[in-house]
Amino acid sequence: MWFRYQNVCLEAIVSTLPDERLSSAEIEARLAPLYRRLRLPEGRLELMTGIRERRFWARGTKPSQKSVETAQKAIRQAGIDKRLIGALVHGSVSRDFVEPATACGVHHQLGLPPECLVYDVSNACLGLLNGMLQVAGMIELGQIRAGVVVGTESSRALVESTIDKLNRDTSLGRNDIKPAFASLTIGSASAAMVLVDRELSRTGNRLLGGVARTNTEFCHLCQGGYDESDGARGSLLMDTDSETLMREGVGTAQSAFVEFLASLDWEPGRIDKTFCHQVGRAHQRLLFDALALDPAIDYSTFEHLGNTGSVALPTTAAMGVENGHLSKGDRVALLGIGSGINVLMLGVEWQRSLLASRREDYCETAK
């Protein structure tokens, strides 16, 4: 499926990160009983993934708390009147509860107008990108003038439950622990984006469009949920065939990329910068080899954030913008791949960041 927009701009993209850090070495220290029993070499987690550390929110933190904080930053950066925001989409896997939508609490805390459309979207690692599509479509149709997409992923429960299970279940052998390996790479973060009608934009950062492609034959390769066998609610666990998921995900992305280039009339060599879903070193290498792209144009965060799920790509983009990865006139590819398998690729024609312009204004004033 192709998407094309004439009137949508990406006005702001921001992130919020937790303070608490957990290194791969510390995870292996917590897995000492397992490592001793199976005689596993220390350092394998970082060596195989390239992930040095990931982050956790403070215990008891609800996703909505951080989503409110991050959305507020995005709205401030965009300088948009809240009364013009016609949609709020909360796109992370993590949420406060099953119902009502976590977006409801975020909407209330932000003080957005009652006319604003409010709901959650869930699609594994593509939730926020799917939210972008929906908000962009509403702007393009003239239904709304501006919208916010936000999400917060919290990884503590999954990582700690996985460590506990691996240590407790002494029946597990080396091959048995492989499906749990990906769970140890998951990190926490929050991201938000403001999209606006082109007439309202002060950045001119046009969201041009993109493509979506699915390969649900492999929907079983990564599945997560609560194991209720060990308690009233159970422990949050995830089962992932990492090698097959990576291979089939990149294969699906390779097919989608051909359509992506055609949909925007781009050539591979004319893509100036990329932001991708963050999995690890092996995934990044395989993806860029398959798409025949230069890894130098990419900005990565998996080394110190791990895989932060649906907020991984937008968080990476926000940090890239803040750290000067983009220049005026850059053609930017947002390359999203999620379990399911789902692929979503979007193209942005970048002009400037309002954050950067405020810094420039400050420097001029200081002179």
Residues designated catalytic: 99, 125
DSSP codes, 142-161: TS-SEEEEEEEE--HHHHHH
User: Can you tell me the distance from the alpha carbon of 265 to that of 277, in angstroms, rounded to the nearest whole number?
Assistant: 23
DSSP-derived 3-state class of residue 77: helix
Q: Where are the alpha helices (DSSP H) in the chain?
A: 24-30, 32-38, 44-49, 63-78, 102-110, 127-140, 156-168, 242-264, 281-291, 302-305, 312-322, 354-366
25-29 — which CB contacts under 8 Å span 24+ positions?
Answer: 27/159, 27/163, 27/184
Please name the residues in contact with 350: beta carbons below 8 A apart, sequence gap of 6 or more: 205, 273, 326, 327, 328, 329, 330, 331, 332
Asked whether the beta carbons of 220 and 89 are under 8 A apart, the reply is no
Q: What angle do CA 228, 249, 132 make, to 5 degrees?
A: 85
Please name the residues in contact with 54: beta carbons below 8 A apart, sequence gap of 6 or more: 21, 22, 155, 159, 185, 186, 187, 188, 305, 306, 307, 308
User: Can you tell me the distance from the alpha carbon of 127 to that of 149, in angstroms, rounded to the nearest whole number?
Assistant: 9
Helix-strand-coil split of the chain, %, nearest 5: 45, 25, 30
Partners of residue 20 on adjacent β-strands: 56
Give Cα separations from 270 to 168, 200, 264, 326, 334 (angstroms): 52, 28, 11, 14, 14
